Amino acid sequence: MRACVIRATGGLDQIQLADVPEPPDPLGPREVRIAIRAAALNHLDLFVVRGMPRDYRFPHILGADGAGVVDAVGAQVGTVKPGDRVMFNPGLSDYTCEFCRGGEHSLCVNYRLLGEHLHGTLAEYLVVPEQNVALIPALAPPLTWAEAAAFSLVTLTAWRMVVTRAQVQPGETVLVWGIGGGVSLAALQIAKLRGARVIVTSSQDAKLQEARRLGADITLNHRTQKVAQEVRALTSKRGVDVVIDHVGQATWDESLRCLARGGRLVTCGATTGPQVGLDLRRLFWFQWTLMGSTMGNAAEYREIVRVLGGGALRPVMDRVFPFTESRAAFERLERSEQLGKIAIQVAE
């Protein structure tokens, strides 16, 4: 089958289309084989190309997100059948460890992501466990394959951050950094659904304008404005209840300066670097809660698909590239030119 692969880590010039073996046949009893129609990119994919500290099985197939048509199912699969249009949770758990039994699948001791630890979605076929698969909800107008592919990773990540971890309440003020990216856009949509007042930042005014269209109450250009100073002015010096951050080192100090007494900060990424400072006196005196978050559990995935079916959380799309131009899609992501999700059409 055709797949978008790397044979070594490094720069984006490592990315190529290649013929690789199809996923193993026969399927396990609870496995589902999907004929991929579209895949979508995440920052994770750039990290995978540059090289993660783990062993790769080259050629390594890229891509965590995707959507397609069920092609074959294992003997015990009961929730989907061949011909169904499906999307899937890109995080695979063993469904047996202590954390899985407690319903916290993204804490699984054997947690693995498609396209990172496992072969990914930029291929004609993919095999995933039945537990990860969901029917694509019927919407009007219908979700495109690219939209369905773009939904899962960022929406699941943002849902867990905003709803499960930060527990954002109606009337609270939430700050979301870097609104061009998929997690930030999903966090904006989810925080608005929860009835929060949302402040977003970007270095590009065009992205801020689009964020206002999507419901952002206040937009700040973090290149030309001092975010903490503006946030203090906008909140009568109080600060925000919740900060949603995926940027890491570059925004950490500023995030803490934005945080109100009793505030919560949730982070899911360290795009600009992993090392940050913390003055413990401020942590205990202001009674802040600092939280990490990764992906989400099976119940959260079912919930976001249900909410999508109700017409909310439709992914914001940037551009769809043909399969043969996969590398150009990665280049657009690397240059941070996108507003919303970049997708790749794998098959018609």
> Of 64, 87, 100, 188, which lies in the binding site for Zn ion, with binding defined by CB under 5 A?
100
**Smallest gap, in angstroms, from Cβ of residue 98 to Zn ion?**
7
Instruction: Give the integer Cα–Cα distance in Å for 227 and 210.
Output: 19
Cβ proximity to Zn ion, 99 vs 288, nearer residue: 99
CB burial of residue 207 (10 Å; 0-12, 13-18, 19+): buried
Query: Smallest gap, in angstroms, from Cβ of residue 150 to Zn ion?
Result: 27
Nearer to Zn ion, 95 or 286 (CB): 95
Binding range to Zn ion, per CB under 5 A, among 97-105, 118-126, 229-237, 265-273: 97-105
Q: How far is the CB of 110 from Zn ion (least distance, A)?
A: 6
The alpha carbon of 230 is separated from its chain's Cα centroid by a whole number of angstroms, namely: 28
Question: What are the structure tokens assigned to 167, written together?
Answer: 């527990």
Cα separation, 22 vs 207, whole angstroms: 40
Instruction: Give me the least distance between CB of 95 and Zn ion, in Å please.
Output: 6
List the x/- string, 66-95, binding to Zn ion by CB under 5 A. ---------------------------xx-
Nearest approach in angstroms of CB 100 to Zn ion is: 3
User: Which CB, 84 or 104, lies closer to Zn ion?
Assistant: 104
Of 12 and 97, nearer to Zn ion (C-beta) is 97
Site membership for Zn ion, residue 187 (CB under 5 A): no
Helix (H, G, I), strand (E, B) or coil at 73: strand
Binding flag, residue 97, Zn ion (CB under 5 A) = yes
297 binds Zn ion (CB under 5 A): no
b/e per residue 215-246 (b: at least 16 CB within 10 A): ebbbbbebeeeebbebbbebbeeebbbbbbbb
CA dist 204 and 176 (Å) reads 15
The distance of closest approach from Cβ of residue 298 to Zn ion in the complex, given in angstroms and rounded to an integer, is: 11
Q: Which of 87, 108, 143, 231 binds Zn ion (CB under 5 A)?
A: 108
Q: Which structure tokens are listed for 243?
A: 């900060």
Minimum Å gap between C-beta 105 and Zn ion is: 7
Q: How many residues bind Zn ion (CB under 5 A)?
A: 5
Please, what is the Cα angle at 70 between 64 and 72, to 5 degrees?
115
DSSP letter at 165 equals I
Rounded CA-CA distance 34/211 in Å is 34
Binding site for Zn ion (CB under 5 A): 93-94, 97, 100, 108
